[in-house]
Every structure is written in C-alpha cells, then in structure tokens.
Structure 1
Amino acid sequence: MADIIQLLPDNIANQIAAGEVIQRPASAVKELLENAVDAGATHIQLIVNDAGKALVQVIDNGKGMSETDARMSFERHATSKIKVIDDLFHIKTMGFRGEALASIAAVAQVELKTRRAEDELGTYIEIENSAVKKQEPCAAAIGTSISMKNVFFNVPARRNFLKSNPAETRHIVDEFIRVALSFPNIFFSLTSNGQQVFHLEAGTLKQRVTQILGNQYAAKLVNIKEETDYMNIYGFVGKPDTARKTRGEQYFFVNNRFIRSAYLNHAVMSAFDEMIAKDSFPMYVLFIDLDPSQIDINVHPTKQEIKFEDEKIIYAFVQAAVKHALAQFSIAPSLDFSLNAEIQQLDAVSKPFTSDKQESVAASSSLFKTFTQKNQAHFIEPTERSELKHWKDFFVNRDSSMTNGDAEKIQSTIDRQLSTDNLSNSKNKLAADALLLQLHNTYIIAPTQSGFLLVHQQLAHERILYERYSAAIHGKKMATQQSLFPVTVELGAQDAALLHDLIPDLQSLGYTVEPFGNNAFVIQGTPADVQQGNEKHAIELLVEQFKHFSSDIKFSKREKLVRCMARQQAIKAGQQLTQKEMTTLVEALFECTTANVTATGSPTYIEFKEDYLDRMFGR
C-alpha cells in the first residue's frame, strides 16, 4: 500500500498560512504599516481603492532593502528580527514572524519597489500566487513602496466572504488609527478612492489623539503618567462626560503594540466606578512600557492578544494610575471631613446636650425613652397625636385642585365604560370618551370596559414609530421637511464611514444628508414630523446608537437603523403630555399590528382587569 502523507507545495502552504494572517484587506494594511514603521520611516502613506479589494499600497521613506533582501522578504519565516531563540523574548519591533509578506503574496498580486540610500538603483519585484513574475533594477525613491492588488483573486471563496465596501473600509480605518496612535512622531496619511481621509502631521500624542478622535476631546482629556522600575504607563483618559454607549474609543498599547485585553479594560472601568453609568464606556488611549521579557506576544496570529508574566501587578498599576489621574484633576468625587467654620459655630455643634435639655426632651416625647432606656427600642407607645392614627386622611381630598364635579365626572365615565360589553379586540379595548390620566409623567392610565391599562408612554411610542419607520424603509418614503438653515455635522473618520453607508436608508426615513468634504456632512432636511432645531445632535446620537446595535449580527442594517430611529425619536419618560397627546398616543398604539410589545420585547402596557382588582382587595 502506498504512503499517503506528503509535504504540501509551498504555494498551498502559504495560502493556508495566509488564512491566519490575512483575513481581510485590513489585515494586510496592519502588516504593511508595521513593516514601514520598523524600517525607520518618518513619512508613511496608505492608499486604498475599492475598500482594499482592488489596491492596498503603502509608501514609506524608510531605509529600504537591497536586491537580495527584497527577494528574501517574500519567503516564509524570513525575518531580520530574530537570529537566536533568545531574541524572541526581547522583541521591540512590530513585525517579526516573517509570514506577512509571504502570506500577502500567496493571495494577491504584489508589486514592490525599494531602494537604500547607498544604492543608485532600486529593485522592482512582481509576485503573483507566491511565484515571482518579474525582478529587475528600477529608478526608485529611498524607502519602499509595496502594492497589494486584487486580494483573494486566486481564492474566490475567501473573496466572497468579504463584507460590503463601507464595512471593509471601517476595518482598514481601525487598523490605520491603531498604528497612527502608536507613533505620533511619524507622519501618516490615508487616501481612499482618491480622497484623502487622514493627513496626520508628526506631533505630540495629545495632538495625534485630537487629530484622530476629534477636536471635541481637546479640553476633555486627563493626562496619565506614572513611572516605576517595573513598568511605565502614560496616555489619556476622557473625562466622565465623554463616556459613550459604545466601546469604540478605547485603545491599549503595550510597548507601542495595540492589544485587546478585557482584563486591563476592567481595571480602567473599575477606576471610573460610580462616575459613569453602568452601561457606558470611558474613552482612553493608554500606553504601557515594560521589559519585553515580562510578556509573550507570540500567542495570537495577529499579535493583538498577549500574555503578561504577572497580570495582577499590571491590573493594580493601571487601576491606580487612572484613579490617581482622575483625582488629581478634581474629577473623582472626594470627601472633605473638615467641617466648615460656619457650621462649627452652630448651636447644634458647639453647645453640649446637657442633662436639663435631656429632661425637657424626655418630658415632651416618650420616643426619647425608647431609644435611651435598655430593651425599649421595640416599644413605641401610641399617643393621641400619632400620625398613624389618621392614615386614612392621607387618601382623602389630597388634590385640592380637583372639584367634586370633576371627581363625579371621572367616576361616571369609568362606571359607564365598565357597564358596556367587554370586547376582545385589542383595538376596541379602550373605553369610549375615557378621561386619561398621566402618572409620574411616564405612565398613562387608560380605562377599559373591564378595568384599566397602564401604558408606558416611551415604550408605546417606540412601537408606533418602529412600525411607521419599518413601512417607510421597505416601501413608501417618509415626507421630508427642508431645513431653512442647513446644519453641518463633523464626525470622526470611523463614524463618517458609517454614516456614508446609512445615507440612502436615512433618505427613506425623511433625512436628507449630503457629504460635505472630509468627514463632514450637511443636513438639508429632516422628517416632516420631527421638530427642527436639534438635527446635529440627532444624527450624532443615531450613529452612536447604531454602533451600539452593530454587535448584534442577527439584524440587518435596515432593521438596526429602524430600531435606532424609533428609540431616538420616541417621547421620553418624564415628559408631560396633554389630554389630546395621550389620547392620540394610545389610539395609535392600538392601531399597530403588534401593540403589546416593543421590537426588543418590552411590554408597552399592562392590563388590570376588574376581577383581578377585586381579588387584590379581597372582594
């Protein structure tokens, strides 16, 4: 019987390795940018076309490569960073595995131009499906230019798994931002389909953070800087009022390498404990520097997860550094145990509780005895002035503004409705001409033929809007009210890419939004039934909520957008409503196809039937 195990051909082995390293165009962006940084470049350009599917090009002014190095760089496990096993535990560069270029060459058509300062001519190499198609001398600037064209052209199944262009562009922007934040001393630019998205001049870390995340953070960053013999931590956290409902603007770097760590994220969250809402996430850009021998970065193909030798020390250090910075900038709540001088002069503080005063208190109230005499705390004597004696008065004539005539009118209305036939159809549950009541500016009490409904005004309105927007986005567009004075809104690059993707669907819902230069948009019109004057905040909140939903993959983009719009535009709990507004709301609710729950499954109302009420009172 013939042997069946054999070595894989190099090109197939490279394609399998590429599956780990190059999952999408953004993976190649990360590897190529890190290589440019390792080459000592001070000026790095990233150019992408068709969300990186057609082209990913990185141009740097680094030290370049010799002809031999240029050819060797595409071999698997070819690296300049490791010579002996000990080097693996002292890595300070970004790329070191020697798989990036080999993996890219296995799944794309690659062109490389490179030249060192001491060479008169550079080297041009063309590789396709791991095979060198052309290698020749060429004129080239000092540094390296590498182009990855038609990614996954030879693995069509992988290409079919790529997401839409806006989604892939967001992944590319994410990777670009992570590298650009790590090295604020390097110039970076990103051009997508001929339009420049980022132009980041070299500068300080604070300048880079505000360049990328937006100028709105300029005055809301708290500086963190702690140094010890074991490790250093520096960077910025946002003040509590910058906390968002999404986890987007959170960046951890260890030795300038972006990492994901739920453990360290928990350390930051615990430092913000009780300063932000439980479901909010603080913004932070934090850098940890420590001896490379204390960490293992070779535990994940993309090197985004690392292992610390002593996690507990790192956790405690991060938590303490953030807490210290927040307290230092008078953001964390602090307790002042020294009493104000004016308070100290008050009689209650300055004068002692003398025996005469004790006797006068004891004579005036038996309550004093129960707390001063032994074994008496449980015994409180009833007195004629006891407030408990007249508890029934609390429920009688409490609302002086309601006349006897009003009370009789409400009672007769309820009696009239309860005496009519009880209809099972939910649309006919409401009593005709019923007087609706609002409780705590949140709930609406609506009498029915057999009891009453307790309607939650915000959840009810969410259901109404959800059905209205669903019909609009899948059929007839909603009416748009053109703005007399169009409003401009500026977003971060990631949010701008997201809004670009939402514009066609927003148009169906009544919003007219048009791109206006780099990451800016003009709001030309809003839905006709939405009050004007708050368009900018509405769009910003919509994008924020959409990102909050985006982790749930079971919903389509349109479904997420409809849910966001319904939640955003619904009247809120705590808003006072007129009788007409309450009637319109409740009637519209029962015209919905599914009136009893919101799209997320929360009840819009609870029904209390007469027989249930009777049982509660033992009747």
Structure 2
Amino acid sequence: MPDIIKLLSDAVANQIAAGEVIQRPASAVKELLENAIDAGANDIQLIVKEAGRTLIQVIDNGCGMTVTDARMSFERHATSKISEAKDLFAIRTLGFRGEAMASIAAISQLEMKTKRVEDELGTCIRIEGSKLIDQAPCTSASGTSIAVKNLFFNVPARRNFLKSNTAELRHITEEFLRVALVNTDVNMSLQANNKLVYQLKKSKLKERLVGIYGKQYKERLVPLELESSIANIQGYIGKPEFARKTRGEQYFFVNGRFIRHPYLHHSVEQAFQELLPTDAHPSYFIYIETEPDKIDINIHPTKTEVNFQDQQHIYAILKSAVRQSLGKFNIAPAIDFDVEQSISFLPPGADAPVKNPFDPKSSDFNPFESSPSPNSTESGRERTNREHWEKLFEENRDSSPDGEQGVIFTEGSNEQKGPWIFQFMGKYILTSGRSGLMIIHQKRAHERILYDRFMHQLESGSAPSQQVLFPQQISFPLSDAEIIRELKPLLENIGFNFEDLGKNAFVVTGVPGDTMNKDIRDLLEKILDNYKKNLLDLDQDQRVNLALAMAANLAMKSSQVLGREEMETMVSQLFSSSMPDTSPGGKMIVRILGPDEIEKLF
C-alpha cells in the first residue's frame, strides 16, 4: 500500500487556520485594528463597504515596516512580539501569534502599503489567496494601510453563511467599539458605505463613552476605582434605574484587552443583586490592570478568554469595588412595582366599626384576595393581625341568617350579571368555564392580546398615531440607531412617526395611540432592548420580533388591579385571539381545573 499522508501546502494550511481566526468580517477588523494599536498609532481609520464583504480597510499612522518586515508579516508564525515561550507570560501587546495576517491573506485579495517615518519610499504588496501577486516600492504616507477586498472569495461556503449586511455591520461596529473604549488616547473613525459613522477624538474615558452612547450617559454612569496589590480596577458602572434587558453594554478589559469572563460578570451581578429585578442587567465598563504573568491569554485564537492566577481574589475585589461605588454615590434599592408590596394592617381601635369581610353585597367583597405576607422580622405584628382577624370571624360567625352561614359565592345578585369573575393575587383572573374553574395569567393574556394587535397593524399598516404636542429629539447609541433605521417602516405601521436627523439622532412627532402617557425615550429604549433580546434568542422575522418586543413592553404589570369590566373585556379579547392558550413567548396562559380535580383537593 503506498504512503497516503502528505504535507499540506502553505495555502491550504493557511485556509484551514483562517477558519479559526477569521470567522466573519468583524474578525478581520479586530485583527487589523489591534495591529494598528500595537504599531503605536494615535490615529486610526476603519473603512468598510457592504459590511466588509467587498472592502475592509484600516489606515494608521503607526511605525510602519521595512521591506523585509512587510513581506514577513504574511508568513505564518512570524511575529515581532515574542521569541521564546516564556515571553507569552510577559505579553502586553494585543497580537503575538503571527497568524492573523497570513489567515486574512489566505481568504481575500489584499493590498498593503507601509512606510516608516525615516524612509523616503514605502512598500506595496498585493496578495490573493496566499499567493504573492506583486511587491514594489511606492509613495505612501508614514504608517500602514491594509485593504482587504472580497473576503472569503475562495471559500464560498463561509461567505454563504454570513448574516445580513445589517447584522455583519453590527459585529464590525462592536469590534471597533471594543478597541475605541480602551484606547481613548487614539483618534478613531469608522466609515461604512461612504458614510461617517463614528468620529472619536482623543479624550478621557467618560467623554469617549458619551461620544459613543450619547449625552444622556453623563447622568447614567458612576465612576469605579479600587487599587490593591493584586489588581487595579477602574471604569464606570451604570445606575440601577438604567439597567437593560440585554447585556450589550457590558465590557471587561484586562491590560488593555477586551475579554469575556462569566465568573467576573457574576461578581458584578452579585454586587447589584438587591438593586435590580431578575431580568435586568447593569451596564459596566470595567478596566483591570494586573501583572502579565498573573494571567494566561493564550487559550483561544480570538484571545478574548483569559485565566487569572488569583481569580477568586479578583472576584472579591471587583465585587467590593462595585458595592463601594454604589454606596459612595448613595444608590439604594428602588421600589419594584412589579412585586406586590407587603403592607401590614394594624387592628382598629375598640370603637371602630367592624365589617363582615364575607358580605357578598359589599363592593369590597373578593374571596380570592390575599392579605400581604408580613415580613419575617415583624412576627409580632403578624401574630397581632392574625388574632385580630380571628376575632372578627368569631364575632360575626352567627350574624348571618340560618341557611346562609358560610356562603362565599352567590349567583344572580343584582350587582353581578353573567359568570362570576375575580382577580387573585393581582396576577390571575378566576372565572367559570364550561369545563370547570378557569385560571388565567393576566399579564400573559395581555401580551397575547397586544401581540395579535401589533401583528395585525404591522401587516395592514393601519395603526392610529397620536401626534405629540412637543416633538422630542432623541439620540441613541449607534447600534440602536441602526436598528431604528432598519425598523422605520414597521415602527410607522404601528403608530410611530419620526424624522431621521442623521448620525444617531431622531425627532419623534407621533406615537401609538395607547402609549401617550409613557416617556418616549424610555418606551423606545425598552422596545429596542426586547427586540435585541429576541434577536439573539429567537432569530425571528422582523415583524414577529417587533410585535414581541412591543407586547412585552406594554403588557400590564403582574400587580395591576383590574375592575370587573376590565377583566371581562380581557377574557373576551383573549378568546378572540389567535392562540388563547399560549403567550407569544410560548408560556401557558389558561389552566382549567375540572370538577374531578377540584374534588381531589378535598
């Protein structure tokens, strides 16, 4: 049998390596921007066309390269950053493997121009699919310009799996921001399809955050700072009242490098534990400085995963720093209006009139209404309350005529027409159905009703719009502004009217008719949060996604008290909807307890 194992050519080996290093256009952007930072540039331009499919160009004013270095930069494992294995544990540069340029050149048509300040002429190199096409002297500004054209031109399978231009541009923007947020002493600009998206001048961190996310962030952030022998921590955290439903504005940087670290993220969430509801996520921009030999960044090709030698200590330090910052700026837990508040009822005085709580003729009669649960620290008051209500029951036990003693439900009273209906715990609607006792989750029912309404409006474009008395100008972070532009026709279908002022600003002139009493900025931000969450979790059609976001945002709170007419209307609308049994998120709305099930309870 002949030998069958062969050594792969450099071109094939580079294509295979590129599959790990360059997964999408944003991966190439990350590598090129980090190279520019490592070159000492203080001015970097990023230019993309068609979300990086046809062009990714990075222009910097860094140190540039010699003729030999320019050519060597495209060889695999050729790097200026390390020479021995021990150097891996003293790394302060962003790149060090020597794989990125070879990987990018293997799957694109690439042109590089580079020149050092001391050289009269620069070097121009053209490569296609790892093959050197041309190398020659050229006139060039000091620094380096790399243009990556037709990415994945020779890997059609990878190109076909790319998302839409909007989605890919979002990933590119995210990589740009990760570099911009940590290198505030560098002028940085992003241009997409001949339109300037970001123009960020050298500034302090907070000014850069405001430049990226908008002026409203001046009031939303509090500084974070703590020094220790293990690590120094600084940055900004968002105030709890501005927490989001998505985790988009959460950044960790270690020694100038963006990282993902679930363990440290848990530390921050623990510090916010008593300040946020379970479905809210704080914003944070946290910068950790530690000795390079205390961390290992050589775990994954993207270098966004790291191991800390003193991981548990850093967890504790970070948690302490966040809590200290929250305490220093007097940030206390806010009342959660989604949770029924505990209210203690003190017994009335001896002369106070006593009402029969089981009088069905009373307008306050509600046999399913539960008294709030007393706090565990108020056991004395709890005992007093219980004794008081027990006395009420004893004093009024014989007050009803014979034959009616203990009757809770009555039929045919003048005050109540049709089937009986009650609200329980401010969360459920109880009524009778053909098959037994019907229990309806009111918030999910309202979501289903709203979802069907918004889907109809999105399909027909016939939603009423209420013009606002004073048009409101609102600025958004770029990623949110792009989503609004993308959704503009659909938002108008459900009643929003707004003008695009360019960059990240809009003027809202009209809103859906049933949202007039809501803060417009807060309304749009929450809709965007829900939309982005659905985008990540469900990957739904735009109309479905927007209808889900609107329904989730506008649905009533679990604790909202409803009158009889409101409950009857909700039940009627629910059973006229497309899927009355299931919420838009796939959760149960209605549970029916049949006579047999109820009998078994006793």
What range is the shorter-chain TM-score in?
0.7 to 0.9
Counterpart in the other structure of 1:598:
583
Q: Which residue of 2 aligns with 1:231?
A: 231
Residue in 2 aligned with 1:561? 546
Counterpart residue identity of residue 388, structure 1: E
Q: Distance in 2 between matches of 1:148 and 1:32?
A: 10
Partner of 1:541: 526
1:240 aligns with 2:249: no
Q: CA deviation at 1:86?
A: 2.2
- Counterparts of 1:368-379 in structure 2, within 5 Å, are none
Question: For 1:14-413, what aligned pairs fall within 5 Å after superposition?
Answer: 14-331=14-331, 388=390, 390-391=392-393, 411-412=411-412
**For 1:471-496, what per-residue CA distance to the aligned partner results, in whole angstroms no more than 9, with x for missing partners?**
444x4333342625543332111222
Amino acid at match of 2:178: R
Q: Distance in 1 between matches of 2:309 and 2:16?
A: 31
| CA deviation profile, 1:149-195 (whole Å, cap 9, x unmatched) | 11111111110010011111110111111111111111111111111
Runs of 5+ unmatched residues, structure 2: 334-386, 401-406
Residue 570 of structure 1, CA deviation: 2.6
- Aligned pairs for 1:418-497 within 5 A: 433-434=418-419, 436-438=421-423, 442-448=427-433, 453-473=438-458, 475-481=459-465, 483=467, 485-497=470-482
**Residue 261 of structure 1: CA displacement?**
0.5
CA contact (8 A) 2:457 2:463 kept: no
- Stretch deviating more after TM superposition (515-524 or 251-260): 515-524
Q: Deviations over 1:208-243 (max 9, x none)?
A: 222223322213322222223332222122222222
Shift of 1:434: 4.7
Cross-structure match for 1:419: none
Q: Secondary structure at the match of 1:461?
A: helix
> Could you say if the C-alpha distance between residues 394 and 171 of structure 1 is closer, same or farther in structure 2, counting changes exceeding 3 Å?
farther
Q: Indicate the SS of the match to 1:551.
A: helix
1:232 partner amino acid: N
Identity %: 47
Distance (Å, rounded) in 1 between the aligned partners of 2:318 and 2:163: 36
- Retained in 1: the 8 A contact 2:225–2:321? yes
Structure of higher CA gyration radius: 1
Residues 533, 259 of structure 1: alpha-carbon distance in 2 compared, 3 angstrom cutoff: closer
Report SS of the residue matched to 2:502: coil
Contact 2:271/2:323, CA 8 A, preserved across alignment: yes
Assess if the C-alpha contact under 8 Å between 1:48 and 1:191 holds in 2. Answer: yes
State the Cα deviation string for residues 511-548 of structure 1 (Å, max 9, x = none).
Answer: 34553211123334444555476443322111011122
Partner Cα distance (1:386, 1:507) in 2: 57
Q: Are the counterparts in 2 of residues 169 and 497 from structure 1 also a CA contact under 8 Å?
A: no
1:12 correspondence with 2:12: yes
> What is the CA–CA distance in structure 1 between the aligned matches of 2:397 and 2:197, rounded to whole Å?
66
* Offset from partner CA, 1:124-155 (integer Å, 9 cap, x none): 11111111212222211111111111111111
Give the Cα separation in 1 of the matches to 2:215 and 2:513. 32
Distance in 1, Cα, partners of 2:189 & 2:569: 54
Deviations 1:570-615 (Å, cap 9, x if unpaired)? 3334445555444332221111232122122333344455676677
Kindly indicate whether the alpha-carbon contact (under 8 Å) linking 2:187 and 2:200 is maintained by their aligned counterparts in 1.
Answer: yes
Match of 1:361 in 2: none
What TM-score do the two structures reach when normalised by structure 2?
A: 0.83
Contact 1:510 1:528 in 2 (8 A): yes
How many angstroms apart in 1 are the aligned matches of 2:555 and 2:231? 49
* SS of equivalent to 2:412: helix
Whole-Å separation in 1 of the counterparts to 2:126 and 2:466: 54
Q: Which moved more, 1:196-205 or 1:504-513?
A: 504-513
- Tell me the secondary structure at the aligned position of residue 207 of structure 2: helix
- Aligned partner of 1:8: which letter? L
Tell me if the contact between 2:530 and 2:552 (Cα under 8 Å) persists in the aligned partners: no
Q: Which residue of 2 aligns with 1:403?
A: none
Distance 2:39 2:539 in 1: 43
The verdict on how the C-alpha distance between 1:393 and 1:607 changes in structure 2, with shifts beyond 3 A counting, is farther
Moved more, 324-333 or 191-200: 324-333
Alpha-carbon shift at residue 390 of structure 1 (Å): 4.6
Q: What is the match of residue 551 of structure 1? A: 536
Q: Amino acid of the residue matched to residue 323 of structure 1?
A: R
Q: 2:557: which partner in 1?
A: 572
Contact residue 414 and residue 434 of structure 1 kept, 8 A: no
Secondary structure of the 1:487 match is strand
Distance 1:488 1:2, change over 3 A: same
Change (3 A) 1:444 1:414: farther
- 2: distance between equivalents of 1:470 and 1:530? 17
What is the Cα deviation at residue 262 of structure 1?
0.5
Q: Hey, what's the Cα distance between the residues in 2 that align with 1:548 and 1:394? A: 54
Distance 1:300 1:396 in 2: 77
Structure-2 change in CA distance of 1:311 and 1:573 (3 Å)? closer
Cα distance in structure 1, aligned partners of 2:588 and 2:280: 24
Whole-angstrom distance in 1 between the partners of 2:426 and 2:327: 37
Task: Give SS of 1:120's match.
Answer: coil
Give yes or no for contact 2:466–2:495 (8 Å, CA) kept in 1. no
Moved more, 59-68 or 276-285: 276-285
Change (3 A) 1:249 1:187: same
Asked if the contact 2:474–2:506 (Cα under 8 Å) also holds between the matched residues in 1, the reply is: yes
Paired amino acid for 2:82: I
Letter in 1 for 2:523: A
Distance in 2 (CA, whole Å) between partners of 1:537 and 1:521 is: 14
- Is the Cα–Cα contact under 8 Å of residues 297 and 305 in structure 2 kept in the other structure? yes
One-letter amino acid of the counterpart of residue 147, structure 1: A
- Alignment partner of 1:519 is 2:504: yes
Structure 1 residues 413 and 600: CA distance shift in structure 2, 3 A: farther
Query: How far apart are the structure 2 equivalents of 1:415 and 1:223?
Result: 59
Counterpart CA distance in 2 for 1:144 and 1:388 is: 84
Q: CA RMSD in A?
A: 3.0
Measured after TM superposition, the shift of residue 35 of structure 1 is: 0.6
The whole-number CA distance in structure 2 between the counterparts of 1:230 and 1:13 is: 41
Stretch of structure 1 that moved more, 485-494 or 179-188: 485-494
Q: Partners of 1:529 and 1:230 in 2: how far apart?
A: 54
Aligned residues: 543
Instruction: Write the distance in 1 (CA, Å) between the matches of 2:473 and 2:396.
Output: 55
Which stretch shifts more, 484-493 or 37-46? 484-493
